[in-house]
Structure 1
Amino acid sequence: MTPDAPAAETEWFQTPTLRGRHVFLEGLDESHAADMCAGADDETVRLLARGGPSEATPEAWADYIGRLNALPNRINFAVCLRESGVCVGRISYSEIRWADRWAEIGTMLLPAAQGTAVNPEAKLLLMARAFEVLGAGRVQFKVDSRNARSIRAMQKLGAVQEGTLRQYQVVPDGFARDSVVFSVLRGEWPAVKAGLENRVATLI
């Protein structure tokens, strides 16, 4: 049941372990760096809004994770496979606005996890926490307009495309990217949830 009032602000910034059929989410820290380094390729980090690690080493990935965790109004979860415990990406409340009852979700998955049940289940777990535990009224996503795969994923999710923020963010290589904004509102969550649950049940 979705709470009528938002949870306490401190609860929005906690990172409990969230368990699904295929994955579990836990607080992202430097212990996940080696798995992420081993599974990443150049495409993994090419369009990240905050940039990626400075080089393809576990040490650089650990530094990158530390920088993500230091950002304000943000908490990061490692996405780990239930069977092996291997970290295959991260999913974040990349912006938390407790007073306005919304959060933004951002995801980075390693190539081996793309196109599997990992993405819909990770989103299902984090969106369910936002709407059903924290009392969010809105969850939003911002996608680089160049990232056709992520835009298709948002459309498959059932999120509403609200518009494009033109030259919204200058990424580390100096490019001023356009960000496409999608959202799901509290009243839309049951239908989106059902779609995600169906995908999790039918994908491997």
Structure 2
Amino acid sequence: MTDAAPAADWLGAPTLRGHAVTLEALTEVHAADLAAGADDDTVKFLSRGGPDANTPDGWAGYIVRLNAIPDRVNWAVRRLDSGVAVGRISFSEVRVSDRWVEVGTMLLPAAQGVGVNPDSKLLLMTRAFEVLGANRVHFKVDARNERSVRAMHKLGAVQEGTLRQYQVRPDGFARDSVMFSVIRSEWPAVKAGLRDRVAAGR
């Protein structure tokens, strides 16, 4: 069994450089890019909702709120070709004692279907399994979000079930969350698939 990294490492946000993106600690600096590229669908299914307004100030406030959540680590997704921040990816929850992390992703429309998502997932899951020593990475997807459910199957994650009315969004809607996971023994195959997609730019 791989040793787990020290607890402090699990809650750090080092810069991670991939083929198409760089992941860097999410701060208010990224707010203007996110506001410029977001549309209504960008935040439609987020369990914690989105910014109060699709403005740089609205996004800055949202980022501050995300970064204040305990046991959560947030990265901005910055495209290497343009230098523009096109989303965020997070360890939405970190459980060092049980050696798992939850990954959550929000990408702007311009970043979808162009290789940004697999590159971001590859970077963060490699960190989880190979640097931190996680045994499990899981994902909770709004059951209404067909695009994200398809993306989880494409990733090769195992669908474990649906947590009914599990999370109440800021608008009061109690969403069903579909749970997917990848465990350590499955990671090599998932990693190979992500590498193929990154190489193909999809």
Q: What TM-score comes out, normalization by structure 2 length?
A: 0.99
Residue of structure 1 equivalent to 2:76? 78
* 1:178 equivalenced with 2:169 (yes/no): no
How far does residue 83 in structure 1 lie from its aligned partner after superposition? 2.0
* 1:6 equivalenced with 2:28 (yes/no): no
Query: 1:131-163: CA deviations, max 9, x gaps?
Result: 000000000000000000000000000000000
- Partner SS state of residue 114, structure 2: coil
Structure 2 counterpart of 1:47, from 20, 45, 48: 45
User: What's the RMSD between the two structures over aligned residues?
Assistant: 0.8
Structure-1 separation of matches of 2:131 and 2:144? 33
Structure-1 separation of matches of 2:28 and 2:7? 26
* 1:120 equivalenced with 2:110 (yes/no): no
Gaps of 5+ in 2: none
How far does residue 47 in structure 1 lie from its aligned partner after superposition? 1.0
* 1:60 equivalenced with 2:58 (yes/no): yes
Structure 2 counterpart of 1:163, from 161, 164, 168: 161
Amino acid paired to 1:87: A
Structure-2 separation of matches of 1:116 and 1:21? 12
Residue of structure 2 equivalent to 1:136? 134
Amino acid paired to 2:168: V
Residue of structure 2 equivalent to 1:195? 193
For residues 23-38 of structure 1, what are the structure 2 equivalents within 5 Å?
23-38=21-36
Structure 1 counterpart of 2:90, from 87, 92, 108: 92
Amino acid paired to 2:73: I
Structure-2 separation of matches of 1:41 and 1:175? 20
Gaps of 5+ in 1: none
How far does residue 85 in structure 1 lie from its aligned partner after superposition? 1.4
Amino acid paired to 1:143: V
Q: What TM-score comes out, normalization by structure 1 length?
A: 0.98
Amino acid paired to 1:92: S
- Partner SS state of residue 78, structure 2: strand
Structure-2 separation of matches of 1:169 and 1:56? 23
- Partner SS state of residue 14, structure 1: coil
Structure-2 separation of matches of 1:188 and 1:175? 34
- Partner SS state of residue 181, structure 1: strand
Question: Could you list the runs of 4 or more consecutive aligned residues of structure 1 that deviate by over 3 angstroms after TM superposition?
Answer: none
Query: 1:158-198: CA deviations, max 9, x gaps?
Result: 00000000000111111110000000000000000000000
Structure-1 separation of matches of 2:201 and 2:81? 16
- Partner SS state of residue 43, structure 2: helix
Identity of aligned residues (%): 68
- Partner SS state of residue 55, structure 1: coil
Query: 1:47-100: CA deviations, max 9, x gaps?
Result: 110010111110010000000000011010000011221100000000100000
Amino acid paired to 1:164: T
Residue of structure 2 equivalent to 1:152? 150
Structure-1 separation of matches of 2:19 and 2:173? 39
